[in-house]
Amino acid sequence: MREDIELELECKYCDYEETLYVPESDYNAWAGNGVPIKEAFDYLSAGQRELMISSTCDTCWNKFFPNYEVSDNRTVTLSKHEVVLDIDTVDAIWEIAHGADGWNREFPDNETIKVLQSFEKKAHMYDQMLELLGFKPEEDY
């Protein structure tokens, strides 16, 4: 007999709730052994997987990211998470991090994140320098 476990999922942005029953072995593969969620739960919809990862339901996800279409061949895997982005967006992000044709030169996700984080650090340093010089850095939010 297959041992299923019950997952009670709820969206943190609205009242949406969903209960899923999945084999415990699949859950352990993902949560414990680092198998990408897309492989461990290939029978769930992308929306259900997103709900598991980020507690965001399909409706809210589409509200936050109205321009991003969810489809399998546009999936980029960032660490254990499945992040679905439009391929043009990914291309732009990789280009910012690595220069033109960055995406085609196949830099791994984690390296790209590191580069972007270093940009963020530099931006903060720049803000601090301006502050020392008596300028008020502009808030970007």
Site residues for Zn ion per CB under 5 A: 11, 13-14, 16, 57, 60
Nearer residue to Zn ion within complex by CB, 60 or 84? 60
User: Is the CB of 23 or the CB of 47 nearer to Zn ion?
Assistant: 47
Residue 107 CA to residue 100 CA, distance in Å, equals 12
Nearer to Zn ion, 13 or 107 (CB): 13
Min CB(65)–Zn ion separation in Å = 13
Neighbours of 68 (CB within 10 A): 15
CB of 29 to Zn ion, least distance (A): 27
Q: With left for phi above 0 and alpha for psi between -120 and 50, is residue 106 left, alpha or beta?
A: left
Beta carbon of residue 70, minimum distance to Zn ion (angstroms, whole number)? 15
